[in-house]
Chains A and B, each alone.
Chain A
Amino acid sequence: MTINMGPQHPSTHGVLRLELDLDGEVIKNTRPNIGYLHRCFEKYAEKMDDYSKVVPYTDRMDYVSAMNQEHGYVIAVERMLELEVPERVEYIRVILAELQRIASHLLGIGTFGLDLGAFTPFLYCFTEREKILDIFERTSGARLLYNYFAIGGLIKDVHPDFKKDTAEFTKTLRPVIKELNDLLSTNQIFIKRTANIGVLPEKVALNYGASGPVLRGSGVEWDLRKNDPYSIYDRFEFDIPTGMGEVGTIGDCWDRYIVRVREMEQSLRIIEQALDSMPDEGDVTEAVPKRIRPKEGELYARTETPRGELGYYIISDKSASPYRVKARAPSFVHLGLLPAISKGALIADMVAIVGSIDIVLGEVDR
């Protein structure tokens, strides 16, 4: 029996369509169909008459971690311009990016639980995410798509209580992570549903070009913040959590899930260190160039988003608009993994696998 899972299905995280060949409930073959959310990001980027006008479009790629998307793009353009960014800006960017990482992981974890039928952890996660969005709202004026990072700086300075709010949030999140572990991570039913399911061996992960929590879940210690440091990440102390197969095989759904939970704690560490050493004074817009005309050439800049390696490949022809912007979206790469790891699984496992890969269709289709 061939069955269409999506594009209108509660747990395909957007508008993904999976064609499943079934034998009973056992999946024989998976064919992911994408393109339902295609918005011509790359073409739009070429048509913009200014490099900075691409930033709002990057927001819309991975709409649950918009700050990270912007971060990747502005870093790419700044490198092309060989622009020095003020210290304070770097700190604010890192704090916001890590907050966004936590928000994105909270969403990923919550919906993963939801996919497995646990409704309550989802709302606990959303309560916390709400606090981050409140901070973002006071900072940038928007809750989802911020358009806050400017090339060479920020659009405007953070709000006066930013440090206080963020410090308060880091204190409230830790007990919630513990609660989440009690309620979900160590729940026997949850473990039964995720351990040994959708096992992604290290070699397959590397061959397919996986990155982020999906790759780390398979036991590879690879994090661009450490392995190819950008911004000021080399100043902070944090660990890279990897999947260890504690309840099953290395690289199963549970490993990918727990990597996200542990990464939230590491992000909290980074935020706390950054808050301690962040300079209080400084104009965040002083380095923002009036005219952005990079030299002729091309550049690939990669950053670590909550979903993995986000790369921007930009070609400049000396004009005010980029000649080409190619985005290497981690979700797109991870979606390619689906047929490889879902063979022989049940429909219920398919839901768990899609949830544990944590794709965002906005990024897949761009």
Chain B
Amino acid sequence: MINFAANTTYTLPILVHAAIPLTIILVYALVAIWGERKIAGFIQDRLGPMNVGGWHGWAQSIADLLKLLQKEDIVPNNASRFLYKFAPFMMFAASYAAFAVIPFSSSYIGSNINIGVFYLLAVTSLLTLSIIMAAWASNNKWSLLGGMRSAAQMVSYEVPTIATVLTVIIVAGSLNLMTITEMQAGNDTLGFLPNWLIFQNPFLIVAFIIFFISILAEAHRVPFDLPESESELVAGYQTEYSGLRWAMFMLAEYADMLLLSLLGSVLFFGGWNSPFGEFMAGPVWGFFWFMLKGLLLVFVMMWIRWTLPRYRVDQLMHICWGILIPLSFINLVLVALWEVIF
């Protein structure tokens, strides 16, 4: 078994550090797009892609990607050309950059900075900016409506997301994602549950539920997929985009989904820790467990997408400001009290 030295973090060249998360994202995106179609097919009593590549259409997303690469790159008249062309890449860059602080395994993290959570949340805020950029630059009314919705939605849902993340930070006492993961090793005092944060106290379960609902909204997944709600706004901010630029949007969306799921697995499910204590632990198994936990959350997101209808924009805001934000702050206070008392 390959055993990386424990402290390779700063010894690997920067380009390799940049390439590893990129590879993970690209492979994941191909698998996830195919997987999403398979899951949709499974839920809807049909087969999904079956032909491309032989076995269960595994090469479908590669074929789709090749098709998208050949498409004409259309820029509408009167569009703000620079912003229009730049927005998709900025969006992808935003979610990609956030992967730098994700601890993929006990011996690999892009950058082990001590304000990891803060950095991650700050960088992903750029997503909002790039969506508004795309929407405004397209010079299309549907895009504009999508962009405005998205701005309102993402800015609002960042509040409960951050409040729940704070809840975890109060318990963990660190902003470093590596440290947060390391302290979740082993089993709890009773010995049958892993020492993950979600099992630490009941308020963290509530925090996880709020967190999960918020990341659904942050990642634009049903029932909160209003920015691109295809039956209302045609395709929202993506309406005018085609070919590779559109593919970049999709890639960024999927990357964002994985990023937030991985964040959830670090904060609540022990990151790369094995659920069986010392059994199947180690750097390589760690990567396996970490991705498995993240992908499970991604799977739940897909499952929800193919089951539920979509909220309306005012109901969405009501859920955020009327329910999630008060709940998450009450939860935050209660966790703080719990930590003081116990």
Give the interface of A toward B (CB within 8 A).
1, 3, 9-11, 25, 113-120, 123-124, 127, 183-184, 187, 189-190, 192-193, 346-349, 351
Contacts and interface: CB of A to CB of B under 8 A. Distances in A.
A347 B308 contact: no
Interface string B105-140: 000000000000000000000000000000000000
Given A3-B142, A127-B45, 18 more contacts: A10-B231, A11-B232, A25-B145, A116-B310, A117-B309, A118-B308, A119-B306, A120-B43, A120-B307, A123-B44, A123-B46, A187-B309, A189-B308, A193-B309, A193-B312, A346-B312, A347-B232, A349-B312
Contacts of A120: 43-44, 306-307
B-side interface mostly:
loop
9 contacts: A117-B222, A117-B229, A123-B44, A123-B45, A183-B307, A189-B309, A193-B309, A193-B315, A348-B313
B230 interface: yes
A114 B43 CA distance: 15
Contacts of A184: 309
Contacts of B312: 192-193, 346, 348-349
Nearest to A115: B231
B311 A10 contact: no
Given A25-B145, A127-B45, A189-B223, A114 B231 contact: yes
Interface of B: 40, 43-46, 141-142, 145, 222-223, 225, 229-234, 306-315
A119 B229 CA distance: 12
Q: Which of B40, B141, B312 has the most CB of A within 10 A?
A: B312
A141 to B, nearest CB: 26
A10 B230 contact: yes
Chain A CB count within 10 A is highest, among B222, B223, B309, for B309
A196 to B, nearest CB: 12
A11 B223 contact: no
Nearest to B142: A3
- Looking at B141, B225, B230, B232, which has the most chain A CB atoms within 10 Å of its CB? B232
A26 B150 CA distance: 17
A115 B310 CA distance: 9
A11 B233 CA distance: 9
Nearest to A12: B231
Contacts of A11: 231-232
Given A123-B44, A123-B45, A123-B46, A118 B230 contact: no
A346 B313 contact: yes
Contacts of B234: 9-10
A124 B45 contact: yes
A116 B46 CA distance: 21
Contacts of A190: 309
A114 to B, nearest CB: 6
Nearest to A114: B231
A352 B284 CA distance: 50
Contacts of A193: 309-312, 315
Nearest to B141: A3
Nearest to B306: A120
B310 A117 contact: yes
Nearest to A122: B44
A116 to B, nearest CB: 4
B136 to A, nearest CB: 14
B306 to A, nearest CB: 5
B8 to A, nearest CB: 45
Contacts of B230: 10
B229 A348 contact: yes
A352 to B, nearest CB: 9
B237 to A, nearest CB: 15
A119 B45 CA distance: 12
A117 B232 CA distance: 9
A211 B299 CA distance: 45
Given A10-B234, A117-B222, A119-B306, A346 B311 contact: no
B45 A117 contact: no
Contact of A189 (B45, B145, B310): B310
A10 B307 CA distance: 20
Contacts of A183: 307
